[in-house]
Structure formats: C-alpha cells, structure tokens
Structure 1
Amino acid sequence: MKILRNLAIACAVTVGASSAAVAQVSSFSTPPQGSVWNTMASVIAGQARESGAMNVVVQPYGGNAQMMQAVNDQLAEFSLNDVNDVITAVQGTGEYRMAMPNLRLVARVNPFPVGLYVKESSGMTAVSDLEGRSVPSGWDAFPIARSHISAILAAGGLTWDDVKQVPVPELIRGSDDMASGRVDSAFFALGGPKVAEVDAAVGGVRYLTVEANEETLAKIQEVRPAFYFTEVEPAPVRVGVKEPMAFVTWDNVLLTGAHVSDEQVADLLAVLFDEKEAIAAAYPPLGALDLETAYKAYPGVEYHPGAAAFFEARGIAQTPAQ
C-alpha cells in the first residue's frame, strides 16, 4: 500500500509540474459497479464535470474497507458511506483493525434504507420467514454488511443462529448467488441497480418486511447507535417494495480526506446543492439532498474545515447529534 501511495503521489507531482494547465482531478472511491454508492458517485461526478466545476472520476474498489483506506491514504479524495462505518473506521473499531484518522465528513446526503430481498416466487414476505433458510454471511470484502444484516435480522425477531449462513464476499456476488439459488436471500440498499437487474432475471423480487416498534428499535441500535426506521412507499424506482413498509435505515454521508483542499470540498458541495435538480433527475434518491439538514454532528468524527466554512457561508448551523 505504501508503494502504491508513493507512486500515486509521485505521479501526481510529476503531472502537476509538467503542465499547470491540466485541470486537477478528484476521485471518488466506491464499491463495485452496480452498487448504490457507485451509482450515486457516478451521478455526482458526472454533474460536476458537466457544470464545469470539477474534473471528478469514479474509482471502484472491492468494498467499504478498501474505499475508506483509499481516502485515508490519499489515493482518493471523496467517498460515500454509512456514517456508522465512518465512525468505526476513524476509531479503528468494529471491522477495522487500524484507525483511519484522516477521514473527514463533508455532508449528510440522504437516509439510506437497506434490507434483505428474495425471489418473489419464494413465497416469503417477512424477515421472520427466513428462520431456517439461508442468509448471506462472511462479507470479507464488504464487512459493513455484517452489522446491517444483524440489525435487519433483529428487526425480524431473528439472530444469526436462527438462519443458515452462506459465505459471500461482497454485494454484487451476494445478489448473483441469490439469483442462481445458492442462497435464499440477498442484502442490498433500496434503489440499487443490481436489485433491478436481478428482478428482471428471476421474474420478480421483493424486500422482506421488518417489525418497526420501540422494542426492535432498541435492538437495532444495540448493533449501531445511528440506525433508525423509515417508512417507504412503493415507487417505480424502488424495485422490490410491494407495499408501504419499514426499513432499517442510516444516514448516508459524503466524506473526504484531511489532505483534500478547502476549495475542492467547497466546489463539490456547491455542485451537490446548486445542481440538486439535475442530480435528482439522474438518480431520484438524491432528491433527498437538503442543505438545511446536511450539516449534522456525529460522535467520533469531525467535519472537514472546507465543509464547515461552506455551511457557515450559506447560513447553515450545525444540527446537534441525536
């Protein structure tokens, strides 16, 4: 990793020295293509290029640990992630063996509902129906899924001991394995392009319902304190949602590295909020972008100074942590 970092820095210095006229390139680290974060980053990057504000490219990695490492080690400038995962990465707790102290928040982007989904032909409709059935486990390349599925199972009255665990490495493979019949269920965020792909391939999928009440809220917050429930209505872009239903949800955040300049951060924030209509038209879930609620405090992680200055200039006060 040090060799790669040194090569990347050396190349950047060489290119910068040889041609000052070349526009600075910022990169987004994301999970593989087909994931929601990759789609969101691609839309934001595309709008940044179209508006002429920035030259932004998207670089897929194997999973959340690798994409966080890329930002921390100055191999990427921006990323999108669950705020819980950012906090644990900064602290070096949970799935992270080493702290990543260079990660900084830029903005709260949107609520991020996640769930377990199945083939509609399975006859299952609720997470509780998975008792004795197979659920994707392991997640060596995407360890964030472990805590998310633990919370979803808890909201359905189950634990890992109540289901059959089938190891999968990451999101896309997990959905492929469900489509092929290797595992009975798959894990994915609502609105993911991969879910639509599987839906078309298997003749229909559906997300499994959970019980959203005070008891199950306490259970999911034992897994991660920033989890909460949201009610989701069916819509064409929400493949697999057959009726109004509750989802385990977290706050999705835009993050950056301490090495990134205040100007780069402010420029990307300006794209997010000044070009919101175009961004939402390209990917409707990003219509939830809201300048008034984007500057939210969270425990254990700080905002980049460029972001703090941007919100102050726009007259936005920080929302206290819940």
Structure 2
Amino acid sequence: MKYLTRLALAGVAAIGFAAAAHAQVLSFSTPPQGSVWNTMASVISGQARGSADMRLVVQPYGGNAQMMQAVDEGLAEFSLNDVNDVITAVSGTGEYDTPMPNLRVVARVNPFPVGLYVKESSGLSHVSELAGRSVPSGWDAFPIARSHISAILAAGGLSWDDVDQVPVPELIRGSDDMASGRVDSAFFAVGGPKVAEIDAAVNGVRFLAVEANDETLASIRQVRPAFYFSEVTPAPVRVGVPEPMMFVTWDNVLVAGAHVPDAQVQALLAVLFDEREAIAGAYPPLGALNLETAYKQYPGVEYHPGAASFFEERGVAMTTD
C-alpha cells in the first residue's frame, strides 16, 4: 500500500517538475474537493496568483497521511492541517507509523470548530442523544477523523461503545451516507461547503451540541492535547448552527516542507496577512486570520525559519497560549 502511495506521489511530482521547466510551480496538498481545507487552499492560492504572481496550484490527495507525506518528501510545498495531526505526523505516533521530520509550521490560520451533524428531521439536538444511534467510523482514507469524533463523543458524555459504528472511508462519503440514511450522523467542520450541499439535499441539517465544561475539556485533551472549546454563532456560511453553540476546536495551521526556500514562505505569508480582506471576502472563515495571534508555540513541532523571520520583521512575538 505504501509503495502504491509513493508511486502515485511520484507521478504528481513528475508533472510538477515538467511544469517547472518554464517557471517554478508550487503546490498546495489538500484533501479532496469539497473539503474545507481544499476550499481554503483554493482561495489562498487564487489570491497568491493574483496579487503576488505566485504560481501556486492545489493538488488534492486521498487524505491527511498522503498530503503530509507529499510535503515531507518534497513533492508539495504547502498544506493546511490540524496542528494535532502535524504533531503526530512529525513524531510518527497516532495514525502515523513513520516520522515525518521535514514538516514545518508556518502560521496559525484560524480556529477550526468541528462537529457531528444530523438531518433536522431527526429531532436530535445534542451529542448525548446519539446513544444507540449510528456514527461514522473507520475512516481508512481520513484517519484524523477518528480522534476528532472520539473527542466530540467524549464532550457529549459518550464513547464509541455507546454508539452503533458504521464504517465510512472519508469526509465526503460520510456526509453522502448520512444524506442517504445509511448512517444517522456525519462529521464535518463548521462552514464546510459539503454541509451546505447536504442541507439543501435533505431540507435542513443541524450540528449537535456538546457540553463544554472543565470535565469535558479534560476529556477531549486526553484525546489530543491541543483541542479546546470555542463558541460559534449563527451566520449564513455556518449552515447547521441555529444558535450560539460550543464546539470541539483545534488550531488550523499552514504547513510547509523544510525544503521550501525562506523567500517563498515569506511571500505566501505576506499574501495571507496583507490581502486578508480579499481572502476573507472569498471565504469568510478566513476572516479569522490575525497577524498578532498567528505565531503560536506548539509542542513537538518547529516553525519554518522563513516564517520565524517574517514574524520577527513584522514585530510579532511568539505566543504560548
């Protein structure tokens, strides 16, 4: 399986190298189209092409492991990911059996609230009500979801033993299976385009509420140390959020490979923060971009030296909380 993955990645690299004969093409590795990270990368890449003349393209992969492998092995330059997943990838723990030492954090992009959502017609409103109901499991092509759903269930006072586990391979299929009735709930990030698509298809969806308190905070941090709770308020882009709700959240980070020159990292950071209004106009969740909170310390990962220099030049000190 690993051999096939490497072969596929090598094929993508060959295409990139051919294009580089004319001009250097940089790539953004992401999950499949329809995912939040793919959408975010597409918006950022489009802005980089338009305002900084960067030849940046988006390359979808089957899941986190493949997209992190592409960056680690120098087959892609940038990616977006949950900082927890980057930490485990670098150390070769969790879902990663081989360390990926060439991953570097570039910036904290935004808080990333995630949840389980259901059809409005189900009558469910809280995660605790999923006891005895079906929840997507397995996630062979998107294993990061296992820890996220574990935390969401814990925040509802449940464990995997309390629910009916229905295997799904990845995000998009999981939502489609919920729409078809194969599974009662689906997992996605708040603001994901797929959630809006399913909402229209089934005449309404809603995210399930969790209990956010000291006890459940301790529970979710046993799953991943960088999880926390954040409040999300209703907005047109936040389909399925009918009132202010608390969500399991992580910090979404921009990642680069150690092979990426400092100048390219700095050029992309300049686009992110100097063109923030245009980027947020194209995708409102990216309005959370904040230069003052983008340089945050995380355990077990290093910042790209180009990013460290960028923040130093902008007078931004590293934060620790």
Q: Aligned-pair RMSD on alpha carbons?
A: 1.4
- The residue identity in structure 2 corresponding to 1:189 is A
What whole-Å deviation, never above 9, does each CA across 1:205-246 have from its counterpart, x for those lacking one? 000000000110010011011000001111111000011110
Task: Provide closer, same or farther for how the CA distance between residues 158 and 265 of structure 1 changes in structure 2, counting only shifts above 3 A.
Answer: same
Aligned mates of 1:11, 1:157 — CA distance in 2: 48
Q: Give the C-alpha shift of residue 53 in structure 1.
A: 3.4
- The residue identity in structure 2 corresponding to 1:226 is A
Aligned mates of 1:39, 1:134 — CA distance in 2: 28
Aligned mates of 1:134, 1:151 — CA distance in 2: 16
1:193 matches 2:189: no
Aligned mates of 1:285, 1:94 — CA distance in 2: 28
- The residue identity in structure 2 corresponding to 1:239 is V
Q: Give the C-alpha shift of residue 6 in structure 1.
A: 5.9
Q: Please give the secondary structure, in 2, of the residue aligned with 1:209.
A: coil
- After TM superposition, the structure 1 = structure 2 runs for residues 295-306 of structure 1, keeping only pairs within 5 Å, are 295-306=295-306
- After TM superposition, the structure 1 = structure 2 runs for residues 206-225 of structure 1, keeping only pairs within 5 Å, are 206-225=206-225
Q: Contact 2:10–2:75 at 8 Å: present in 1 too?
A: no
Aligned mates of 2:164, 2:14 — CA distance in 1: 48
Q: Contact 2:118–2:124 at 8 Å: present in 1 too?
A: yes
Partner residue, 2:178: 178
Structure 1 residue runs of 4+, over 2 Å off? 1-16
Q: Give the C-alpha shift of residue 317 in structure 1.
A: 1.1
Partner residue, 1:126: 126
Q: Contact 1:29–1:78 at 8 Å: present in 2 too?
A: yes
Q: Contact 2:142–2:171 at 8 Å: present in 1 too?
A: yes
Task: Provide closer, same or farther for how the CA distance between residues 249 and 7 of structure 1 changes in structure 2, counting only shifts above 3 A.
Answer: closer
Q: Please give the secondary structure, in 2, of the residue aligned with 1:142.
A: coil
Partner residue, 1:85: 85
The share of aligned pairs that are identical, in percent, is: 79
- After TM superposition, the structure 1 = structure 2 runs for residues 1-322 of structure 1, keeping only pairs within 5 Å, are 16=20, 19=21, 22-320=22-320, 322=321
What whole-Å deviation, never above 9, does each CA across 1:126-156 have from its counterpart, x for those lacking one? 0011000000000000000000000000000
Q: Give the C-alpha shift of residue 172 in structure 1.
A: 0.1
Q: Please give the secondary structure, in 1, of the residue aligned with 2:281.
A: helix
Q: Contact 1:103–1:256 at 8 Å: present in 2 too?
A: yes
Aligned mates of 1:298, 1:245 — CA distance in 2: 26
Aligned mates of 2:243, 2:155 — CA distance in 1: 18
Stretch deviating more after TM superposition (38-47 or 5-14): 5-14
Q: Contact 1:5–1:74 at 8 Å: present in 2 too?
A: no
Q: Give the C-alpha shift of residue 263 in structure 1.
A: 0.9
Aligned length: 317
Q: Contact 1:234–1:241 at 8 Å: present in 2 too?
A: yes
Aligned mates of 1:109, 1:197 — CA distance in 2: 25
What whole-Å deviation, never above 9, does each CA across 1:100-140 have from its counterpart, x for those lacking one? 00100000000000000000000000001100000000000
Q: Please give the secondary structure, in 2, of the residue aligned with 1:200.
A: helix
Q: Please give the secondary structure, in 1, of the residue aligned with 2:174.
A: helix
Aligned mates of 2:197, 2:14 — CA distance in 1: 40
Task: Provide closer, same or farther for how the CA distance between residues 163 and 24 of structure 1 changes in structure 2, counting only shifts above 3 A.
Answer: same
Q: Contact 2:147–2:223 at 8 Å: present in 1 too?
A: yes
Task: Provide closer, same or farther for how the CA distance between residues 303 and 234 of structure 1 changes in structure 2, counting only shifts above 3 A.
Answer: same
Task: Provide closer, same or farther for how the CA distance between residues 50 and 198 of structure 1 changes in structure 2, counting only shifts above 3 A.
Answer: same
Q: TM-score, normalised on structure 1?
A: 0.95
Gaps of 5+ in 2: none
